Amino acid sequence: MGDANAFRSAAANGQVGIDPDAAHTVLNKIRTGKDAVEALLNSSGVLAQPPKLGNNPVGNAMAAKFVQRADGGGDSYSSALQNLLGQYQAAEEGIVQAMARYHEIDQSSADPFRNA
């Protein structure tokens, strides 16, 4: 998640500016991806239901493992989706901030030429 957060920080600090007209397409794609991940997260609880593999030691162990991989911590499906959603959010915030900084950066870059 470092790259998305680094971009967001650079935008917040005024180190990056993006032309708002050019950025709208990217921003819309990020928001579409973010919406899709949120929908997957909302429905991921279905995967955390233990499958019916039979009431025996092997079936019970496999069912428990399935639930853990779907909705447990660490490298579970749900955790991976949360990580992806966080990256989408950081990228979205960075682009919005960079769009806001674009005109500031453009003006400050032009100032030396105006005073010449």
Give the tens place of pLDDT for each residue, 6-25.
Answer: 888 888 888 888 888 888 99
What are the pLDDT digits (tens) for 52-88?
Answer: 777 888 877 887 777 777 666 667 788 888 899 999 9
pTM, entire model: 0.70
pLDDT top residue among 94 and 50: 94
pLDDT top residue among 108 and 61: 61
For residue 35, what pLDDT band results from cuts at 50, 70 and 90? Answer: very high
Question: Given a cut of 90, is residue 27 above it in pLDDT?
Answer: yes
pLDDT of residue 66: 74
Non-local (6+) Cβ contacts of 29 within 8 A are none
Average pLDDT of the residues in 37-63 = 80
Task: For residue 71, count other CB atoms closer than 10 A to its CB.
Answer: 17
Q: Provide the terminal-to-terminal Cα distance of the chain, rounded to the nearest Å.
A: 43
pLDDT of residue 111: 65
CA distances from 97 to 42, 65, 114 (A): 28, 42, 26
Contact 14, 104 (CB under 8 A): yes
CB < 8 Å & 24+ apart, contacts of 21-24 = 23/95, 23/98, 23/99
